[in-house]
Structure 1
Amino acid sequence: MTLVPSLPTVATNPPSQAEAQVLVAQLQAQIQSLELKNQKLILELAHLKRIKFGVKSEALTVEQKQLFDDDAEQDLAAIAAELDEVPTCDDAPVSRLKARPRAGRQPLPEHLERVEVRHEPEQCTCGQCQAQLVKIGEDVSEHLEIEPARFFVVRHIRPQYACRLCETITAAPVPPAVIDGGMATPGLLAWVAISKYLDHLPLYRVEQIAARQQVILARSTLSEWIGRIGVALQPLADRLSEKLRQQTSLHADETPVQQLDPGKGKTKRAYLWAYRSNDLSGSPPMVVFDYQISRSGQHAANYLQDWRGTLMVDDYSGYKALFANGVREIGCWAHARRKFFELHAAGGHPVAAEALQRIARLYAIEEQAKGQTAEQRAQSRALHSQPELQSLHDWLLKLRPNIANGGGLAKAIDYTLRRWPALLHYAETGDLPIDNNPIENAIRPIAIGKKNWLFAGSERAGKRAAAIQSLLATAKLNGIEPSEWLKDTLEKLPTWPNSRIDELLPLRG
């Protein structure tokens, strides 16, 4: 296989001036082609190295870095503890690690239950004169404790009463439940669902956790519970979708997941489409996941139905039909920035660095506008963002004719210029976001979790997971503890009127 294009054949006789010019032009073209291929390979190699060995995004604070930080903290604490155990002589100096300044222990949350343990002296008389001791105060210290998942049995006793005259029997009725006649309480059902969908534990691990307390929860039983929980929560997920489509602006993105293909004994690719409300709209945050078996843009059209608003997306072509049918597009500056970041990370490209600095000024303006009203933010963007954007646009237009086609810089500039109207749209308003990071943050736990559960067992299982994940993720966005919400909801659902279903949604008031 030829890796390098063959050079033009040079005649034995010295070439004429015209032939020499043609030969030089051919050589220059080949050199330029090789330089572009080399640049492309460098970018691809840097990207793959960052995925395998480093951070996957341009953010500085990532889980991988935190792992190393945690280990360093643990090592320092262990060394300090070992030094504390070293025996010392009164007249011999001991070398110690210099204590690092700390901010002090944070107060424990006020909402936690306080269990008081009183420690009285062994005797109430003075150890020297035997006089009676008088209480003058007390020292109070608080320590955080935890009770791991503890199984216990709730025994419901309903006495039966008979009327001798009427020959009838009276007893308290058995309230309806999500699983009639089942042994699981709403609290246990919530724990299983949270373990599977929020903590991303496969059911066999939940089975093992229960077995440590000698409680037998077969996977078949756990699977049946999850199936029934999904059916019970589906109306809430459907209503959440309806309320999301009432918003005038949304984020959208999609991520691949694996689905079991039993007929072939392997997995196939499916997609989890995600839609999120705009935080700048002032409405309670909502996120909805829609499981589909392909990445066809028709799935987005089917989900959004007749919705017509402003949609924040990346440059995936599957959304293009929506924009041709009345939906207005808004571009993501994080995606545009990423093109320049990858180029800069590969070799410290000076033009890419300049682009990153210009884009950083746009984000600095947004940071300063946090907490402002939509009107105030619109004024700030008109005064500061739009001039910065115009300057960036002019700079890119002036720069582009001097950049060779096909290179990483050309692709980054072309991406930005091609999507310029969509990228500019946010600065023309005061209530639209600058990037699609909120939806990517909502998807990230799913991406982490699928490394544990690996694949969805079926399309129905994928759709059930999407519905439950939507409700739990929305609860988290609204500052609602998902486990408590789910337990309370499973208790209420069997008798809750459909006309009041909105009251059960995990949305802050």
Structure 2
Amino acid sequence: MEMSQAELAAHCEKQDKAITELTQNMNRLIEMIRLNNHKKYGSSGDSVSYPDGLDQLCLFNEVEATAQKGVPEPTFEEATAKTPRKPKQKGKREQDFKDLKVTVIEHELPAEQQVCPVCDSPLHDMKVEITKTLKLVPAHFEVEEHRRHVYTCRTCEKNQGEGDKIPFVRANMPNLPIPGSFATPELIAGIINSKYTNAMPLARIEREFDRMDSVRISRQNMSNWVLQCSEEYFSKIYTHMRNVLLSKDILHADETWTRVVQQDSRDSKKKCYIWVYCSGVHDEPIIYYEFHESRATESAKEFLKDYSGFLHTDGYEVYHRLEPGITVVGCLAHIKRKFTDAIKALSPEEQKKTVCFKGQEYCDYLFHIEKKYKDATPEERHNKRLTLLKPVMDAFLSWLKETKPITVPKSHAYEAINYALNQWPYFENVLLDGRLELTNNLVERSIRPFTIGRKNWVTMKTDRGAHDSSIVYSIVQTALANDLKVYEYLVYLLKQMPNTDFNQHPELIEKFVPWSKELPANCYKTKN
């Protein structure tokens, strides 16, 4: 039976739609395969350089923006000369070695050899040639034997009557971190530094101790010491950190997963979460880790229930459902990442032909403008953003709105554009205050030490251990952010805090926080 012309046209149209849909699905699958292969085998990082320079966008007249009147033109030799190698800094070795212990080793001729080889006359010491070398002294164990003298009165002994007590007076001895334990502040600090700064699991530390001096300390003992010090001493700093952090105008927030083997004394491998909060770049550095069993809204609300201010976040929807007093600030790095991910697996020439390349260019141009006034005051930065950054942001937003309807649905380009449009109401809040950042990279850098450690120790055993690890991570990472020597700082805490009465003087906790100005000089990498 022959089809009519109208039926044939409808059939052809139906077939065309099916072919178009199949082609779109095929292209989407090819995109997914390319991206997955790049994630597995390609280089990491979000940075995609401009093949033809920063003038790709041609949004504004870069000539007026970059011109500097009165600057002389370089000579031909200067323009064509290769970039000179940076000269070595004089005295750098002496500067690096200045705080190290020096052991002097004299090399002298024996007296019988101090004779002139020509005339046999005595030689005199003319000068000393100095060669400095750097020696590594491996860690080793030492035993401290505390001898606490006890005194009594001979006279009272002689004159002792019935019922009289002979007085005994003991010499003072500092309290140890864990009463009844042989663990010193130095030993506990070394264990914490290895695990939480250098990401070494306790099992490896146990084996290393055995190799060093055949000292066998079980990982269970080490774990107990860390837990006790965390709950007895570090928790006081941790609580104070939280109160100070929530008093700030600007915070950064992010979260990452972890697994807990046992929950409520039952075997479990439930995926739990570590939430991380940081102070802004214009405040003293504070990095706060908090353990929660879930990634739900309640976890963020519990910490931020009394907070009012700006909160830098990624695009996770939970942050957009917080209290009205919180102004969420979106992240340009996450917007850019959606575009760069879609074209990472393409060649440079193929990238230029894509919609995502244009979106990535807009993001890079915004970063380029921001970098020009990175050293400005917050007030100056706020004004510069309104005059220089906002027009580019407006152009970017217009391009996103114009491009979305003509982009293939469900493609990576469509998803990137849609993500940028959804995040735009939060990202544009960066224009409200000059202290805000274009990205949430600050907290992402702070969360990385935990993710590196997670690759080594894989899981946490209990909820208690996860909570106490959050406390120790907070202390250690905040110490690093404040340019402290973690080991020296921990030794100081474990020596001083057991001998401080916080019940009578709770204000003394401010002496021990990582940003305190009262820390001893040996705690700093470079004392201000």
Does the pair score TM above 0.5?
A: yes
**Which residue pairs with 1:287 in the alignment?**
287
Distance 2:418 2:131 in 1: 62
Q: Residues of 2 paired with 1:299 and 1:245: CA distance?
A: 15
How do residues 209-358 of structure 1 correspond to structure 2 at under 5 angstroms?
209-212=208-211, 213-231=213-231, 232-261=233-262, 265=267, 267-279=269-281, 282-322=282-322, 325-347=324-346, 348=351, 350-358=354-362
Check whether the contact 1:284–1:508 (CA below 8 A) recurs between aligned residues. no
Q: 1:119 & 1:151 partners in 2: Cα distance?
A: 31
Matched residue, 2:392 = 388
Aligned position for 1:116: 104
Shift of 1:394: 1.7
The offset of 1:474, in angstroms, is 0.5
Deviation at 1:276, TM superposition (A): 0.8
Deviations 1:85-125 (A, max 9, x none): xxxxxxxxxxxxxxxx9965952342222222222234433
Measure the CA separation in 2 of the matches of 1:274 and 1:482: 20
* Matched letter for residue 124 of structure 1: Q
Q: SS at the partner of 1:457?
A: strand
Give 1:45 shift.
2.5
1:83 aligns to what?
none
Equivalences for residues 51-450 of structure 1 within 5 A? 51-59=39-47, 107=93, 108-122=96-110, 123-167=113-157, 168-212=167-211, 213-231=213-231, 232-261=233-262, 265=267, 267-279=269-281, 282-322=282-322, 325-347=324-346, 348=351, 350-450=354-454
Which residue of the other structure, out of 459, 462, 465, is the alignment partner of 2:463? Answer: 459
Closer, same or farther: CA 162–465 of 1 in aligned 2, 3 Å: same
Q: Aligned equivalents of 2:21 and 2:283: distance in 1?
A: 52
Q: Which sections of structure 1, spanning at least 5 residues, go unmatched?
A: 1-11, 62-100
Q: Secondary structure of the residue that 2:328 maps to in structure 1?
A: strand
Letter in 2 for 1:383: T
Question: Structure 2: how far apart are the matches of 1:43 and 1:110?
Answer: 56
State the secondary structure of the residue aligned to 1:165.
Answer: helix
Instruction: State the identity %.
Output: 28
Q: Which amino acid is 1:397 matched to? A: K
Please report how far the alpha carbon of residue 250 of structure 1 lies from its aligned counterpart in structure 2 after TM superposition. 0.8
TM-score with structure 1 length normalisation?
A: 0.84
- Aligned equivalent of 2:513, options 490, 505, 509: 505
Match of residue 27 from structure 1 = 15
Distance 2:208 2:143 in 1: 17
Amino acid at match of 2:403: L
Distance 1:370 1:102, change over 3 A: closer
Provide closer, same or farther for how the CA distance between residues 508 and 384 of structure 1 changes in structure 2, counting only shifts above 3 A: farther
Checking the alignment, whether the CA contact within 8 Å between 1:259 and 1:268 is kept in structure 2 is: yes
Are 1:374 and 1:431, in contact at CA under 8 Å, matched by a contact in 2?
yes
Where does structure 2 lack aligned partners over 5 or more consecutive residues? Answer: 50-84, 158-166, 518-528
d(CA) in 2 for partners of 1:260 and 1:369? 48
> Hey, what does 2:475 align to over in structure 1?
471
Letter in 1 for 2:229: I
Task: Tell me whether 302-311 or 21-30 shows the greater mean CA deviation.
Answer: 21-30
Cα-to-partner distance string for 1:24-74 (whole Å, 9 max, x where unaligned) = 33233223322332333233323332332234432589xxxxxxxxxxxxx
Output the CA distance in 2 between the equivalents of 1:286 and 1:55. 32
Q: RMSD in angstroms over aligned alpha carbons?
A: 2.3
Q: Residue 166 of structure 1 aligns to a residue in which SS?
A: helix
Distance 1:362 1:223 in 2: 47
Verify the 8 A CA contact 1:340 1:355 in the aligned structure 2. Answer: yes
The alignment covers a number of residue pairs equal to 455
Q: For residues 234 and 266 of structure 1, what CA distance do their matches in structure 2 show?
A: 26
Q: C-alpha distance in 2, partners of 1:228/1:144?
A: 38
Indicate if the aligned counterparts of 1:43 and 1:342 stay in contact, CA closer than 8 A: no
1:330-380 Cα offsets, whole Å, 9 max, x none, are 100010000100111133253211221221111112222222211121122
Change (3 A) 1:51 1:407: closer
Residues 113 and 368 of structure 1, relative CA distance in 2, 3 Å threshold = farther
CA drift at 1:508: 5.5
Q: Which whole-Å CA distance do the structure 1 matches of 2:397 and 2:87 have between them?
A: 45
- The verdict on how the C-alpha distance between 1:248 and 1:127 changes in structure 2, with shifts beyond 3 A counting, is same
Greater CA drift, 225-234 or 332-341: 225-234
Distance 1:125 1:317, change over 3 A: same
Equivalents in 2 of 1:139, 1:34: separation in Å?
80
Give the CA deviation at 1:467.
Answer: 0.7
**TM-score, normalisation: structure 2:** 0.81
SS at match of 2:322: helix
User: Structure 2 CA distance, aligned partners of 1:384 and 1:373?
Assistant: 16
SS in 1 for 2:344: helix
Distance 2:18 2:114 in 1: 97
